[in-house]
């Protein structure tokens, strides 16, 4: 009897259970409290679907005395607080079909043989946080888009984590309490799902004696999926009766991704400040409607500009708007005090980039990568070798970030080792 991944997911979905975030590191520390004397590490990853127009993004100079190009001008007030990296990528191609590798380093169909599967950077950090926060990770942004959108967040079991689609839903998740009846029904659903898992686990174990070696391996994958669901249910039970923070302002309405970007950034900042989460992602995908910011042509169409100046001008306007909102988010993190000392930006790594290097030519190399805050020594444009034989993988930056997050690892995705010659200040 062979149990394939698709059958496993279909069965669990049919029972009302979704395979979501695995919290492998949280189980032995579910009741642990973070030390009060040291602010926790945080991580925010922001990705868009179509990259950045290279001609307006990359400076001509490297080091600390580079001239900010048009797309980076909005970041001028934060120049000492971010690093720009050029010629980092994952060595993959595939255009829109490789954008999802931004935070994983590997195409989904090629991830199965890796020790950690195709887990994304945010989910790896969330495993480390575990149940210390209500939301180990908040995934926010475009629920769809071209070829499925950015698709930047992935679990170990190969499941894409769909984002919260708008500020209204994010606000409700963060601040709105269920009434007593809703909580009672939620607890009943938890009990039911736990009973279903018990039955599934017992039946699956009884099969092992009758299976071939190949089928036993597939059954192990099935158990891994069950463990993912068990930890999800454990997390839900722990936070069921813990009060949420008080709403800071009235519930916002969804107006479309482009118009909603400022509010979504504000809500992510509040989620970090209230320690509702320490990890978040924001996807800016094809549901970004350019006419909402006064541009009458489509975002995807403009990304395929064909080197036409009139199209490039409009595309740069769209991308500059995104960088302006990113800069505003950094402003917000600088202005908010960390409850345990310093500002949120000092203790939050904020990654801004894309899995697309050049939307016009569908290339996935030389990805636009900016990292701000988080205790690194910033203020430079760091250019790495462009020669294919001397390339530095982007995943080395991710290993450095995971270590700064507090994770004892020297590997991420298909890569080992940290980014060379880059300093941590705290």
Q: Are 147 and 97 within 8 A, CB to CB?
A: yes
pLDDT of residue 217: 59
Which one-letter DSSP state was computed for residue 104? T
Look over the chain and give the mean of its residue pLDDT values, rounded to a whole number: 85
Selected residue with higher pLDDT from 411 and 2 = 411
Q: Looking at the structure, tell me whether residues 102 and 237 fall in a common domain.
A: no
pLDDT at site 426: 58
202/325 same-domain check: no
Residues 88 and 165 in one domain: yes
Residue 24 lies in a domain: no
pTM equals: 0.82
Q: Give yes or no: residues 150 and 210 share one domain.
A: no
Looking at the domain assignment, is residue 31 inside a domain? Answer: no
- At residue 81, the pLDDT reads 97
Same domain as 96, residue 54: yes
Please give, one letter per residue, the 3-state secondary structure of 250-276. CCCCCCCHHHHHHHHHHHHHHHHHCCC
Phi first, then psi: what are they for 163, rounded to 5°? Answer: -80, 155
Helix (H, G, I), strand (E, B) or coil at 143: coil
- Gap between the Cα atoms of 70 and 62, Å rounded: 16
Picking from 195, 215, 243, the residue at the C-terminal end of a domain is 243
Domain membership flag for residue 55:
yes
User: Minimum mean pLDDT among 76-80, 160-164, 210-214: which range?
Assistant: 210-214
> Is residue 27 domain-resident?
no
Q: Assess if residue 140 is contained within a domain.
A: yes
Q: Identify whether 198 is part of a domain.
A: yes
- Do 58 and 82 fall into the same domain? yes
Q: Give pLDDT, residue 30.
A: 38
Would you say 378 and 372 are in contact if contact means Cβ atoms under 8 Å apart?
Answer: yes
Helix (H) / strand (E) containing 354:
strand 348-354
Residue 277 sits in which domain range?
Answer: 40-176+252-416
Q: How far apart are CA 21 and CA 14, in angstroms?
A: 18
Please give the tally of structural domains in the chain: 2
User: Does residue 339 carry a pLDDT above 90?
Assistant: no
426, part of any domain:
no
Same domain? For 165 and 271 the reply is: yes
Residues 303, 398, single domain; the answer is: yes
One domain for residues 282 and 363: yes
Confidence of residue 14 (pLDDT cuts 50, 70, 90): very low
Same domain, 200 and 316: no
Range of weakest confidence among 22-31, 56-65, 88-97, 283-292: 22-31
CATH number at residue 404: 3.40.720.10
Pair (239, 263) in one structural domain: no
Q: Is residue 2 part of a domain?
A: yes
Do 195 and 145 have their domain in common? no
pLDDT at 309 exceeding the cut of 60: yes
pLDDT tens by residue, 256-282: 999 999 999 999 999 999 999 999 999
Q: What is the pLDDT of residue 294?
A: 97
């Amino acid at each position: 009897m062979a149990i394939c991944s698709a059958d496993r997911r279909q069965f669990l979905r049919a029972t009302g259970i979704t395979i979501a975030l695995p919290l492998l590191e949280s189980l032995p520390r579910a009741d642990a409290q973070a030390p009060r004397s040291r602010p926790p590490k945080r991580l925010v990853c922001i990705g868009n679907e179509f990259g950045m127009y290279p001609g307006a993004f990359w400076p001509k100079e490297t080091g600390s005395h580079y001239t900010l190009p048009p797309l980076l001008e909005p970041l001028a007030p934060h120049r000492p607080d971010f690093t720009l990296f050029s010629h980092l990528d994952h060595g993959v191609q595939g255009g829109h079909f490789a954008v999802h590798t931004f935070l994983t380093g590997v195409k989904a169909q090629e991830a199965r043989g890796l020790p950690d599967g195709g887990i994304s950077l945010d989910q790896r950090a969330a495993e480390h946080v575990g149940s210390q926060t209500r939301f180990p990770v908040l995934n926010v942004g475009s629920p769809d888009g071209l070829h499925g959108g950015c698709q930047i967040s992935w679990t170990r079991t190969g499941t894409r984590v769909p984002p919260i689609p708008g500020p209204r839903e994010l606000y409700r998740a963060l601040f709105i309490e269920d009434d007593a009846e809703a909580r009672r029904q939620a607890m009943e659903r938890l009990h039911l799902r736990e009973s279903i898992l018990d039955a599934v686990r017992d039946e699956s174990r009884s099969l092992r004696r009758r299976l071939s070696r190949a089928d036993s391996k597939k059954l192990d994958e099935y158990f891994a999926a069950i463990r993912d669901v068990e930890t999800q249910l454990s997390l839900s039970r722990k936070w069921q009766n813990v009060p949420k923070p008080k709403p800071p302002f009235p519930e916002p309405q969804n107006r479309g991704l482009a118009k909603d970007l400022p509010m979504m950034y504000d809500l992510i900042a509040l989620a970090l400040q209230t320690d509702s989460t320490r990890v978040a992602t924001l996807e800016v995908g094809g549901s970004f409607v350019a006419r909402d910011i006064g541009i009458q042509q489509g975002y995807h169409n403009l990304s395929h500009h064909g080197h036409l100046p009139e199209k490039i001008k409009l595309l740069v306007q769209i991308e500059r708007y995104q960088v302006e909102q990113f800069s505003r988010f950094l402003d917000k993190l600088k202005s908010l005090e960390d409850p345990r000392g310093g500002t949120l930006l000092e203790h939050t790594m904020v990654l801004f980039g894309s899995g697309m290097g050049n939307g016009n030519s569908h290339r996935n190399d030389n990805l636009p990568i900016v990292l701000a805050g988080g205790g690194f020594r910033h203020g430079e444009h760091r250019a790495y070798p462009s020669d294919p034989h001397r390339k530095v993988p982007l995943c080395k930056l991710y290993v450095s970030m995971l270590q700064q997050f507090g994770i004892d690892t020297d590997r991420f995705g298909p890569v080992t080792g940290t980014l060379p010659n880059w300093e941590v200040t705290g």
